[in-house]
Structure 1
Amino acid sequence: MNEINKWFDENSSDVWKIAEFIFENPELSLEEKKSSRCLANFMEDQGFSIEWKVAGLETAFVATWGTGKPVLGFLAEYDALPGLGQKPVDRRSEIEGCGHGCGHSVLGVGAAAAAVALKKELELSGKSGTIKLFGCPAEEIMYGKIIMTEQGCFDDLDAAITWHPSDVNRVGEDIYQAMDCKKFRFFGVTSHASGSPHLGRSALDAAELMNVGVNYLREHVTDDVRIHYTYLDAGVKPNIVPDFAQTSYYIRGNSRKHVDDASQRIERIAQGAALMTDTRYESELVSNCKETKLNFTLLDTFYEAMTEVPVPKYTEEEIQFAKSISEAANLDNEGKYFDGLQKYERRAKDIYISTDVSNVSHKVPTVTLNAATACKGTPLHHWAFTAQTGSTIGFKSMIYVAKCMALGGLKLINNPEILAKAIDEHLNI
C-alpha cells in the first residue's frame, strides 16, 4: 500500500489534468476519440501495451501489463450525455453540446490510475500478475461492454473492478436493472392533411396510440418495471400526414423475466397501434442487458480496502461550493453535504438504473465501488452533477476511489484464497 500511496502522491496532479481534459472535451457514445486516445496514451506512457478497436469498436481499447495469474481487469468509461454541457461552477451555466452528467470524465481516469498504481506496487514487489484496463465506450447507450462481453474480451479475467460516481462513498451492493433498448418505427402514407386527409395513413397517430397503450400497461406490470420513451421522428410539417414516426424505448426490470414479459407486451401494443391506423410497424432491439450478479467475496474485500483509505477532506471553499450548488439546484440534503464511508450491510439492494457492467458480472466476478463526486442529493444526469464532477470535489473523490480499487486489487493478489473463493461464489450462484 505504501507504493500505491507514493504513486498517487507523485502523480495526482497529472491524473487530474487528464480528467480535466476529458471533462472539457466531452464526446457522445461511440464518438469518444479524444477521450479514449487520451487514456490510452497515458497507459502507454506508464508501460502498458495497447490494443485498439477491440470487439470491433473504434473507441474501445485494452491496455495490458504483466504476465501470469491472477488477471485483474479495471473497467473504464468515458462517454458523455447529450444536452448536459455545463461549466464547473455553482450555478446553471450551460455549454452547448454534451457533458459529463454521469461523471464518466473521472470514472475512466480513476480506473486507469488504479491500474497504474497497482502495477507500480507489483513491479517493486516482484509479484506476478496481469493488469488490464479496458477502455469501454458507449455505456450511456447500454452498448460497449455488452458487445465486448459477447466477443469474449473479459473471458480471461479472474476479476473485474470498476466504480461509478455518486453522492455517497460505499461498495456497490446494488443490483442494477435488466433492460431492453428498443426502437419502434411506423410507416404510413403521406397526403395533404386538410385537402385529402382520407388518403393519408398517419405513422404519427400510430406512434401516439402505441404510447397511450403503454401508459395503460403501466398499471399492470410489477412495481419494479420502468418504461420510458422519447420521439426520434414525428413528421415534418403539420399539413403533411406523416408517413414515418419513430420512438426509442427503455424497458427495465429487476430481472430478465420481468423485462422480457413487459417487452413482449409492448410489442403487441405496437402491433395493435399499427392495425388501428392501417400502418406498418417494425421494431429493433438496439441492445439489452441483464441484472447485476453480485459477488459478496469481492464486496467484503473491497469494503475492507475502503475502510483503510481516508475519505476526502473538503476545504471551506469546497463546502461553500456544495452549499451554493445545493441552493441553485434545490437539492434535498438539509445542509449536510458529504458523509464518510457508508456502512456495508452485505445485503443485495435493487437500484432503478441499468449498466452494461451487469453483463460483465455474469461472465466473471465483478465488483463496483461508489465515490461521492457530488454532494448529497445530487441526481445523476443533471447539470449540478456535471458541475461538481468537473470541480475539485469530483477530482478528490476520483483519487480516493482509485486508491481503494488499487488496494483491493492488491489484496486479491496477496491473498489468492480470496480470489479462489470469489471465483467459486461466481460459479455456484
Structure 2
Amino acid sequence: MPAPLYEAKNTAFRWIEENADWLSEFDLEIWRYAEPAWREYKSARAYVELLRRHNFDIEVGSGGMPTAFVASWGTGRPVLGAYAEYDAVPGNSQEPVPYRKPREGMHPWAAGHTDPHSMLGVAALSGVLAAKYAMEKHGLRATLRFFGEPAEKVCGSKPVHAAKGYYDGFDAFIAYHPSYYPKGTNTVAWETHCGSYWSCVFTFECVEPERWIDRSLFPDVGGTHAAARCPGAIDALCLMYTMTKYTKEAMFPHTGSWSLNEFILVGGDATADNLPPRFAQIQYAWRSPTLGIQEQIYRVLVNNAKRAAEATGCRASVRWVTKTRVGLPNLTVSRVAYDNLELVGPPRYSEAARAFAREIQRNLGLEPMEDPFIDDVERVIPPEEYESKFRLALPEWQRNFTSDDYVEYTWHAPTVRLYTARPRLRPPTPDYAYPAWADNALGGRPEIVDPGMFVAGKVIAATILDLVTYPALLEQAWVEFRERTGGGIGGQHWVAPLLPADFAPPIDLRWPEYITTVRGEEWWIPTPNLDAYHLL
C-alpha cells in the first residue's frame, strides 16, 4: 500500500477509535427510539442534526418521504454513496436486559430493533465521517453522499429514491448489514445477492350497501336492523385472506425460496351493529428470486381481490407500497471491500459481552456456555467460502435469495454488500431456537454491538479511500458493471426502476406508530391494564 493511502487509512481508523464513545451512544439513542417503518421521526432528525454539525449539506424529506434525507459533502468525482437505516419492527419491544422485559409504560408488543438497524446506520455513518476527515487531512477530493433510508422492513425508500433519480450519476455504492448468519458473519456477498420484494395494499370499500337487497322484500320497510345487511368490508377482507391461503399452493411450485406474508392495516372501522363495515385494508408482501415469479403471485392476488369484493358488495382497489429489483453483483468492488476487511481484522468480543450472553442462557434454564456465541463471529470468511456454503440449500438455477432493498443501488453503480458480525447465541442443540427477545436484547448492548459496528466503519472508510485514490479500481468495476448489464445504464440486460418517477410514497397509510394522547405517549395500540386480562 502506498504511503499516502496507508496514512489516510490510519487517519480514518484513528478517527473512529477516538470518537467511538459518542458514536456508541448515538447507536443506543437510535436503538432506544425504536421507531417503525415510515414513522422514524426522531431517528431521522437525530441523523440530520448530527450530519449538519459535520458540515454536510442536507436535503430533508427526499423523494417525498418525511423521514428520508440525503446528506452531501465534498466536490468532484468520484461520487460515492452509503446509507443509514433506522426503522424498528412492531412486536419486538425489549429492554437490553438478560430476560424478557418489554419497555415500561408501553404496549408489550410495541416496536424494537431486531437486526438491529441502529447498528447498521451508525456503522455506515462512522465509515463516511472517518473517510471525510481523512480526505480533509490528506487533501483528497471526492463527493460523499449519505442517504437516510426509512422503512427498510417494507423495502420502502430505496425504490422511491431510485425511481426519482437520486441514485443517478454515482460511481459506486457501499451497502452494509450486520450479520448473524452462521455461514458468513464477517465477509462480503459474492455472486448470490438478495432477490425481489413487492408489497401492496388491497382496500375494500362498501360504498353502496343499499343495493345489496331488494328493500320491497322487507316485511317492514323501516326494519333495516332486522334485514340481511350487505356483507361489507370485513367480510371482503376475510374472503381475501382465506382465498389467498387456499390459492397460495397454486401461485408457484415449492421451489425458489419464495414467501408471502400479510398484515391487516384496517379491520373494518365499525362497531358491532347491524351496519356493514365500510372500509378495510390488507397488505401483502412477497419475495422471490425473479421478477417473473413476482408477477405471477400478483396476478393471483388481484384475481382474489376482485372476487372477494364481488361476493361482499364492495369495490376493491390496490395501492403499491414498493417494488424492488433483484441484486446485481460486482466482484471488483466486493474484492476491494473484502481486502480492507482482512486489513482491519475481525471483531473481538470481551468477557463482559460473553457474560451477558451467559446470563441470558442461565435465565432460560440452559447451562451457560464458555463461548455462548455462534461460530465464526471472530473470523474473517473469504467470500468464495461464504458463497459456497450459502448456496448449499439453493437450486442451481436460483441466482438470488431472500430480500433487502439495497438491491436498488446495484443497478445504478457498482455496489458491494458488506457484512460484519452481530453475535447470536449458540444453541445447546441443533433444534433449539432462542426466543426473539434474547436476540433483541443483545442488539442494545454496546459490548456486543460495538466490535462489529466499528470494524464495519473502518472497512467502509478504507474502501472509500481506495476508490478515491485509485481511479483504475472504479474503471475496472464499471467494466464489470457494463458486462453484467449488457452495456451499462440502459443496456440490454439493465433493469430500470420498477416504480414510476411520479410514485407517491405510501406515507399516508395506517402504519403502526407511536402517538401522543391525553394519556401520554403510547404505541398505536393503547397501553393495556394487564390486570384486566385473563389467560384462557
Q: Computing the radius of gyration over CA atoms, which structure comes out larger, 1 or 2?
A: 2
Query: What is residue 463 of structure 2 aligned with on the other side?
Result: 408
Q: How does 1:27-426 map to 2 (within 5 A)?
A: 27-95=35-103, 96=106, 97-167=110-180, 168-173=185-190, 174-188=192-206, 189=209, 196=226, 198-220=228-250, 221-222=252-253, 223=255, 224-235=257-268, 236-240=270-274, 241-325=276-360, 335-339=372-376, 340-345=379-384, 347=387, 353-376=402-425, 382-392=436-446, 393-426=448-481
State the one-letter code of the partner of 1:423: W
Q: Separation in 1 of the partners of 2:317 and 2:434?
A: 32
Q: Separation in 1 of the partners of 2:363 and 2:331?
A: 39
Q: Separation in 2 of the partners of 1:24 and 1:381?
A: 20
Q: Separation in 1 of the partners of 2:259 and 2:24?
A: 37
Q: Could you say what secondary structure the match of 2:344 adopts?
A: coil
Higher mean C-alpha displacement, 131-140 vs 379-388: 379-388
String of CA shifts for 1:61-114, please: whole Å, max 9, x gaps: 222222221111111111222232211112211123322223111211111110
Higher mean C-alpha displacement, 233-242 vs 289-298: 233-242
Q: Separation in 2 of the partners of 1:61 and 1:205?
A: 40
User: What is the TM-score with the length of structure 2 in the denominator?
Assistant: 0.73
State the one-letter code of the partner of 2:200: K
Root-mean-square deviation (Å): 2.8
Q: Could you say what secondary structure the match of 1:198 adopts?
A: coil
Instruction: For residue 403 of structure 1, report the CA deviation from its aligned partner.
Output: 0.8
Unaligned runs of 5+ in 2: 1-8, 213-223, 392-398, 428-432, 485-536
Contact 1:68–1:130 at 8 Å: present in 2 too?
A: yes
Contact 1:48–1:65 at 8 Å: present in 2 too?
A: yes
String of CA shifts for 1:369-397, please: whole Å, max 9, x gaps: 12222325799994333321211211221
Contact 2:71–2:147 at 8 Å: present in 1 too?
A: yes
Q: Percent identity between the aligned chains?
A: 29
State the one-letter code of the partner of 1:391: R
Q: Separation in 2 of the partners of 1:55 and 1:12?
A: 32
State the one-letter code of the partner of 2:258: V
Unaligned runs of 5+ in 1: none
Over 3 Å counting, the alpha-carbon distance change for 1:330 and 1:214 in structure 2 is: farther
Q: Separation in 1 of the partners of 2:336 and 2:467?
A: 8
Runs of 4+ in 1 over 6 A off after TM superposition: 377-381
Q: Separation in 2 of the partners of 1:399 and 1:77?
A: 16
String of CA shifts for 1:27-47, please: whole Å, max 9, x gaps: 223332322222223223233
Query: What is residue 16 of structure 1 aligned with on the other side?
Result: 24
Q: Separation in 1 of the partners of 2:130 and 2:142?
A: 14
